[in-house]
Chain A
Amino acid sequence: SQQGEEDPQALSIQEGENATMNCSYKTSINNLQWYRQNSGRGLVHLILIRSNEREKHSGRLRVTLDTSKKSSSLLITASRAADTASYFCASYYGQNFVFGPGTRLSVLP
């Protein structure tokens, strides 16, 4: 399988803390994207990082990409209860997106 892997599978933190999720993939990619999925809903795009970029910011989100290690990380700073969701990385290669199994984040008030 070419599917990527997120780590950890589940993460529980207190409101205000930072949350870090990692993603590994298996082949060279064109870009990598992170998506959020609230329970019972569709996926929502968070951020895209291209293969020639190393870091990208969007609000409280910071994504890094290490192509030599075939890995990416998503950092959510100052987490809120509303950040509770599943987070997926999607690696893009060829003409396909391959999603990992996701990290389930719980932010406790």
Chain B
Amino acid sequence: DVKVTQSSRYLVKRTGEKVFLECVQDMDHENMFWYRQDPGLGLRLIYFSYDVKMKEKGDIPEGYSVSREKKERFSLILESASTNQTSMYLCASSSSGTQETQYFGPGTRLLVL
């Protein structure tokens, strides 16, 4: 079974802090994704990566950056956390090819005070 793990289930940070969210997948998938989930808005894509060191902006990249130094690991970085970044963050991965199934991690619920 595909397994996508996220470093924290819950995280509390202060405004202005730099925040790292880590995601690791164990199925040698080429594609990895970061979404944020907010009530009434569904999932919105922040960034995705289709190869090591490659990244593309999603629909809401402002205030975020990403890093993919190894194939299995995709990090989301909040350079200076703000209260409007309080949300649930979901990581996903998929194999290459058009619209392969995305497999999701359990999510990190981030609270920025």
Chain A complexes with chain B: no
Query: Which residues from chain B sit less than 8 Å from chain A, CB to CB?
Result: none
Query: Which residues from chain A sit less than 8 Å from chain B, CB to CB?
Result: none
